[in-house]
A and B are shown apart, each in its own frame.
Chain A
């Protein structure tokens, strides 16, 4: 066997993103049409332990240039797997040909693209070099230890797993109308799950965290050990829990559930492409859609606390992201836009155009979506409920064009006579989003980002985050009959 030459085993350096930007700029030339070039390198390192075995230690590197050309009032898109100038120029022609082919059929032509605030320069996210410089064996050790501690966390635990991912992104975006920027950011994620079993019955406990930032940011609020302990505790407690009785209920939503609610049930209905297709938010700008306590935003920045998982300085059209007010004092104030929809609606783009990887065209997507903190005390909010539930721990969900939503809740704790009581399980909540917003009668002073390890799906995945304070409202609870 040939000995390993350690010099040959070093991973290549990330692509020099500012040099790539200069190369792309040279490819723009004078084309007449609007041309957008976006080089995107994504490197994902993953470690997964399950039942004491390293199931996966992998590295995924995918890079290339996505090209959009606006020709004859229609976009054409093509992609190639590099930033090589000859390939990029050939891909521009493919995108132009695709636009030409579809322009004859497209009824509603793109008349203009909105945007006066196109990004220029380089944007460097926190933690990129710090995380990439941390040795791989340390990350493997962390996941190994967290899994084995969770497995030994209680006598009823029969299974544990732990996963750690870090997603490095480097992008360069240039457009023929002036965007000229590059960025680098990193998003680490950590998750632990445990299964408790007793007399043939099983329950799953799960905790996860995802941030935009480095190692310290990832474990700023809770250590890997704490997350593992909480997963174990959840699985064990759920073994004792009963199913709730179904029906309408007064509840307090924890920040994680608030995040899921505002993302799934409100955020999607105000994405301008859904609005144009007739979502329930269409025609409601300026109208009351919730209690006047409700202030709801989507932001590319990490408001209140650093490291929100959907943080993004510039979107994939080269638009600087800002905080977008969606609902203020209960009144719908804005939709979420890309440059095309903003022009059609006669507003400025909100920086919500996002593409998952280089071969994906940008779509309107959320970033960090949240309800702003209120003025109530959390304990006081509980004490005012005679019969209800405190709902924590999202377990996935979906929303509809009607604003009808459904999602699972990991831990639902009964509130009886103003006090927290027993845990119930298998809880699903549903409702009509704006009806739930109207039913909000208290919002706490707290704030947490709590959806950063999740992904939003809309044809393409997207890293997003969501959160808020504790919110008291009414929802439908799924349970036994």
Chain B
């Protein structure tokens, strides 16, 4: 692994090389990381692995034309400069293709955890072994299909011909479990849980929490029966809020989706797009956030950004190109790694808690479905969604009955306006989302 300062020096050298080859503007972004992982399969330790890789992404501009090439290995960096220029030589020009000038970047102090850097493969194997034992001890009916524990240290750097020169380092440890419960002939559906922490001393408690949640989820899908068909209430778990509700909404908040006409919310800035109970914030400077950082993929400063306030759309997400076209300041939302051109995205997501305890949120409806996993198709362009509730429960007069083969269908944008409750509890999802459960109304539900 290459440290942040050395990585930045390599980026700066490559900027000079690409300029010497004829580039008018150059941006070189680099990532370097050392990671160790222990993989679980079939309730057993499977493979321990290590990897050490450094990648570079070179973006060049010449006569308004842009080329991008990415390589791994510092020895291939010069070739990447040539390849990016070869692409720019045949790409059509765009007058807005320009790299951003430097902006002041406020420090975001995060020293990589020394203990995590020293964590050896033997220690990770011990942790993975204890995770296996804990799942078995909690309930022998739960089977781990795959899982893992991983630790990594990494650095990133960015240099550009416009004068940007930034670098930072980080570390994290993550774990995940994927599997199902089997009780005789009763095979539950697949379920999944994961956790990400920033320090070695947080890893063991995180693993314990992970096994507890995973076992509970898997057991919840045993003994399922057919649900019921009706139009009515859904309670979306924080995981489903993240993957389904926000997973569809966020892409259409990007300024690119607005510019290209893909976003149905293009004309809705300052207008209500959801019930008043919804407040959505992107915070890339969250001290414990796993997606936190001082600068974005283009070297623009990051800042806390309210996206939706009491249901009203506050802003779109801009990278340097879209900001230039829209004649606004970039919002620091250029995302991604060295292996691709920057794309627009968010960092740590927060939805403000409501005032209804989770249990009450589930108990209040006469009839409804608790959705803990959604497997289906949805389109933010049309708003339509349709799919199967996995690991779901029928909520009826305070009772919670596990159900199978229940399909839901509707429209995302109607759903946002139909929010009837937000839980007062927040769940931390991999350190990059703090989300409540959300209750929505008037959804088409079809039992198998």
Contact = CB atoms under 8 A, between A and B. Distances in A.
A9 B143 contact: no
Interface stretch (A73-81, A114-122, A438-446): A73-81
Contacts of B386: 408, 426-428, 478-479
Interface string B268-308: 00000000000000000000000000000000000000000
A11 interface: yes
Interface stretch (A20-28, A270-278, A322-330): A270-278
Contacts of B157: none
A68 to B, nearest CB: 8
B151 to A, nearest CB: 13
B163 interface: no
B72 A64 contact: yes
A420 B21 CA distance: 61
A136 interface: yes
Interface stretch (A53-61, A306-314, A371-379, A466-474): A53-61
Interface size class of B (residues with CB under 8 A): 35 or more
B82 A401 contact: no
Contacts of A5: 21-22
A430 B341 CA distance: 37
Contacts of A430: 388, 405, 407, 448
B261 interface: yes
B378 to A, nearest CB: 9
Contact of B379 (A135, A204, A400): A204
Interface string B140-158: 0001111000000000000
Interface stretch (A91-99, A221-229, A250-258): A91-99
A398 interface: yes
Given A140-B91, A404-B189, A59 B70 contact: yes
A139 to B, nearest CB: 9
Interface stretch (B179-187, B202-210, B241-249): B179-187
A480 B45 CA distance: 46
B381 interface: yes
Contacts, number: 277
Contacts of A107: 44-45
Interface string A1-34: 1111100111110000000000000000000000
Contacts of A61: 69-72, 76, 79-80, 83
B223 to A, nearest CB: 13
B41 interface: yes
Find the residue from A2, A4, A201 having the highest chain B CB count within 10 A: A4
B190 A401 contact: yes
A50 B381 CA distance: 15
A58 B376 contact: no
A10 B82 contact: yes
Contacts of B262: 159, 195
Contacts of A4: 21-22, 62, 85, 89
A280 interface: yes
Interface string B82-111: 111111011110100000000000000000
B339 to A, nearest CB: 6
A105 B128 contact: yes
A317 to B, nearest CB: 14
Given A135-B90, A195-B262, A273-B42, 19 more contacts: A1-B24, A2-B22, A57-B87, A58-B67, A60-B340, A62-B55, A74-B48, A75-B46, A81-B53, A95-B50, A102-B45, A102-B47, A105-B128, A136-B86, A277-B41, A400-B190, A478-B387, A479-B444, A481-B230
Interface of B: 19-22, 24, 38-39, 41-55, 62, 66-73, 75-76, 79-80, 82-87, 89-92, 94, 120-122, 125-126, 128-129, 132, 143-146, 179-180, 182, 187-190, 229-231, 259-262, 264, 339-341, 375-377, 379, 381-382, 384, 386-388, 390, 404-405, 407-409, 444-446, 448
21 contacts: A2-B22, A58-B340, A61-B72, A77-B47, A79-B50, A80-B52, A98-B48, A102-B121, A105-B129, A106-B46, A108-B42, A203-B382, A279-B187, A359-B51, A359-B53, A396-B377, A400-B189, A425-B384, A426-B384, A426-B386, A428-B407
